[in-house]
Amino acid sequence: MTVTEWKDLLNFILKNFTIRYEDFGKEEYNPYRERRIVGFIRFDQKEIFFDRDIHGKTEELTWTHEALSIYYYQILKIIRHDDEIESEARELSKNIILSDILREHIDRVRPK
């Protein structure tokens, strides 16, 4: 993914989705926590949920994963297996330029 494509995707997400950092220790998040899921998308509600306790590389990888899920499903209208998304997210996360752009976006929306 190019720098321009990545910026466009992140801007699309910020414009079209509500970002929620939640306490995944709450009972309602048990099914996610039990499966070690620290982020998920509700396409029907246009919301992305992140565990408020994730930080650093885990947070960036989770954001990349969710961004790619939106890219394929919402924009390209392609359903990809979660393992494929995860593999691609790990590769994209190695790109320092894309990671820096992502960190700027995260810092804009993450509650202080």
Show the CA angle centred on residue 82, arms to residues 98 and 8, nearest 5°: 30
Give me the sheet containing 18-22, strands edge to edge.
18-22, 47-51, 39-42
Q: By C-alpha distance, which of 111, 96, 108, 112 is closest to 10? A: 108
pLDDT in tens, 55-87: 999 999 999 999 999 999 999 999 999 999 999
**Tokens 């009972």 appear where?**
27
> Locate tokens 């990809």: which residue?
80
Residue 57 CA to residue 62 CA, distance in Å, equals 8
- Positions of the chain with pLDDT under 50: none
Matching CATH number, 3-109, of 3.30.70, 2.60.120, 1.20.140, 3.30.2010: 3.30.2010
β pairing state of 39-42 and 47-51: antiparallel
Q: Can you give the pLDDT at residue 112?
A: 84
Q: Are 67 and 10 in contact (CB under 8 A)?
A: yes
Q: Where are the domains of the chain?
A: 3-109
Q: What is the pTM of this model?
A: 0.94
